[in-house]
């Protein structure tokens, strides 16, 4: 009997780790960010509580059967009810191994000292304990990587351009890299690498001695993270693409986002560039004085020698006419509504770094968008707009503007926007209304579905999953333009 109880407790303790491990990875291995996720997992909580309650009344073979059913339900929930699963990176492997060892030990202890119900609710406490035990080790590793990267930067001495913003960072980075490549050897951070470890990888693995310019993204989810990156990277030029309603779950307010993004000007930079098409960037630029360089459709109020104003032709193909310390007519090969703004901002940085305008005109012709950011694909006569990465309110509205240009049956499939903090319901309600105006079909799912439905009314159809949305979408007849906003199916049909 004792052996059966111990085995049951060990198995339950280990299987209870499935969801908490993925939760830890999704929340950047931060315990304080995991806590709200527990509350948003009622199915998992219900399974744990119900089985813990039943375990108080049974023993022997019945306890083994209860444990087997518990493990089966958690396995089904993890593998069949969740599309995103744990990615086995080096850090994840460390956490999995330590958590499993702790869970097994906890299971043995619980098995030896009844009651056994703690085994059914051990998942999150075990993972949190493992994270706490690993924290000094992970800090030592990161400090070592940072020291190595800083030494390499001091030795190679590239001109460093740092980019931050609530959105537009990666697209802008790719545009800027293309423009600067017309004159310099450029190293740009990979994909959306914008954390201390991500920038260490860029410098330690990708930066070559021949590279003259290093372009990096700087992301943040909490106050103080931009300063940490600036203290490490020490950029020569800083760029703020936009400031808005992003990561409000952790920042708490747009005011805190504003303070964090503007902290990229660390004091040692030569200039900071602002996209003043964005209202909060305009506000920030007005406070920066001579070090501020601005670009936008309206640059009134800023010094002409420190600004670039642009106009966009309405007829296709679009042209950007720039006025100011960058002047001339430039092609705009990207269809996205935000493209002229980011291209002009990149032109200002490139001109400041002494790239000739003739070279810039040629380089602009070949700029491209970024995968999963309003990426336009085709499936026969259907148009697919993949805007599945990191949706935010402004990006959502921009994508609706893009799909509105197609004379087809317009469909949006979305779970809404996340990390809106206290404003999340109101934001999704507002976006649901805008989607209903722009599209013929609004197919929604997930926790924000109720808010989207409230905003969009009868045109909004609620489904239990993305797969169910795709099933309905496949039955829509006619030539279609479909927008996948903030999520993407495994197979496009």
pLDDT of residue 40: 73
In this structure, is residue 341 part of a structural domain?
A: yes
pLDDT of residue 263: 92
pTM: 0.84
Please check whether residues 357 and 410 belong to one and the same domain.
no
pLDDT of residue 175: 95
Residue that finishes a domain, picked among 364, 386, 408:
364
pLDDT of residue 268: 82
Please check whether residues 299 and 318 belong to one and the same domain.
yes
In this structure, is residue 144 part of a structural domain?
A: no
DSSP string for residues in 76-91:
HHHHTS-S------HH
DSSP state of 327: -
HSE (side-chain half, CA atoms, 13 Å) at 213: 22
Contacts of 112 by beta carbon, 8 Å cutoff, 6+ apart: 2, 6
pLDDT in tens, 169-198: 999 999 999 999 999 999 999 888 899 999
Closest CA to 468 of 493, 443, 436, 440: 443
Give the Cα-Cα-Cα angle 235, 178, 319 (nearest 5 degrees): 115
409: which strand partners?
480
Rounded to the nearest angstrom, the gap between the alpha carbon of residue 171 and the centroid of all alpha carbons in its chain is 13
- With beta carbons less than 8 A apart as the criterion, state whether 379 and 448 touch: no
In this structure, is residue 143 part of a structural domain?
A: no
* CATH number for 459: 3.90.190.20
Number of domains in the chain: 3
Please check whether residues 359 and 210 belong to one and the same domain.
yes
Please check whether residues 277 and 385 belong to one and the same domain.
no
Please check whether residues 119 and 182 belong to one and the same domain.
no
In this structure, is residue 148 part of a structural domain?
A: no
Please check whether residues 425 and 352 belong to one and the same domain.
no
SS3 269: coil
Give the Cα-Cα-Cα angle 211, 217, 218 (nearest 5 degrees): 130
pLDDT in tens, 291-329: 899 999 999 999 999 999 999 998 777 899 999 999 999
Please check whether residues 12 and 85 belong to one and the same domain.
yes
Give the strand order in the sheet containing 328-331.
186-188, 213-217, 159-164, 237-240, 271-275, 292-296, 307-312, 319-324, 328-331
Which range, of 211-220, 356-365, 381-390, averages the lowest pLDDT?
Answer: 381-390
> How many angstroms separate the CA atoms of 52 and 46, rounded?
10
Identify the domain containing residue 389 by its residue range.
375-485
Res. 81 pLDDT band, cuts 50 70 90:
low
Please check whether residues 162 and 282 belong to one and the same domain.
yes
């Amino acid at each position: 009997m004792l052996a059966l109880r111990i085995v049951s407790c060990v198995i339950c303790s280990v299987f209870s780790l499935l969801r908490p491990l993925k939760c830890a990875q999704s929340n950047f291995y931060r315990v304080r960010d995991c806590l709200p996720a527990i509350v948003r997992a009622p199915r998992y909580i219900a399974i744990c509580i119900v089985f813990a309650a039943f375990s108080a009344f049974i023993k022997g073979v019945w306890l083994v059967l209860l444990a087997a059913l518990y493990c089966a339900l958690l396995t089904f929930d993890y593998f069949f009810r969740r599309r995103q699963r744990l990615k086995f990176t080096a850090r994840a492997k460390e956490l999995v191994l330590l958590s499993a060892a702790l869970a097994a030990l906890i299971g043995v202890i619980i098995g030896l000292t009844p009651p056994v119900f703690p085994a059914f609710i051990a998942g999150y406490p075990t993972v949190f304990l493992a994270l706490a035990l690993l924290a000094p080790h992970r800090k030592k590793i990161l400090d070592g990587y940072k020291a190595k990267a800083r030494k390499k930067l001091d030795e190679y001495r590239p001109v460093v351009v740092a980019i931050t913003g609530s959105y537009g960072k990666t697209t802008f980075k790719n545009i800027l890299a293309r423009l600067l490549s017309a004159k310099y050897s450029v190293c740009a951070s990979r994909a959306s690498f914008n954390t201390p470890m991500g920038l260490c990888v860029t410098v330690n693995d990708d930066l070559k001695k021949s590279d003259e310019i290093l372009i990096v993204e700087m992301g943040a989810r909490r106050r103080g993270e931009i300063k940490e990156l600036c203290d490490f990277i020490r950029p020569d030029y800083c760029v703020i693409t936009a400031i808005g309603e992003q990561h409000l779950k952790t920042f708490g307010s747009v005011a805190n986002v504003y303070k964090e993004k503007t902290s990229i000007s660390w004091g040692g930079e030569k200039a900071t560039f602002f996209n003043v098409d964005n209202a909060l960037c305009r506000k920030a630029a007005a406070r920066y004085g001579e070090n501020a360089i601005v670009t936008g459709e309206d640059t009134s109020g800023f010094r002409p020698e420190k600004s670039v104003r642009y106009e966009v032709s309405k007829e296709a193909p679009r042209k950007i006419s720039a006025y100011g310390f960058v002047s001339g007519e430039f092609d705009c090969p990207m269809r996205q509504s935000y493209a002229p703004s980011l291209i002009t901002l990149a032109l200002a940085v490139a001109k400041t770094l002494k790239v000739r305008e003739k070279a810039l005109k040629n380089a602009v012709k070949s700029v491209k968008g970024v995968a999963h950011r309003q990426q336009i694909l085709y499936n026969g006569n259907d148009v697919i707009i993949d805007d599945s990465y990191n949706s935010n309110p402004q990006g959502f509205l921009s994508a609706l503007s893009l799909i509105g240009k197609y004379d087809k049956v317009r469909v949006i499939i979305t779970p809404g926007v996340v990390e809106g903090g206290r404003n999340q319901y109101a934001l999704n309600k507002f976006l649901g209304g805008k989607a209903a105006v722009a599209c013929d079909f609004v197919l929604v799912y997930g926790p924000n579905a109720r808010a989207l439905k409230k905003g969009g009314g009868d045109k909004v159809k609620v489904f239990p999953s993305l797969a169910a949305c795709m099933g309905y979408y496949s039955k829509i007849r006619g030539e279609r333009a479909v927008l996948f906003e903030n999520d993407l199916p495994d197979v496009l049909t």
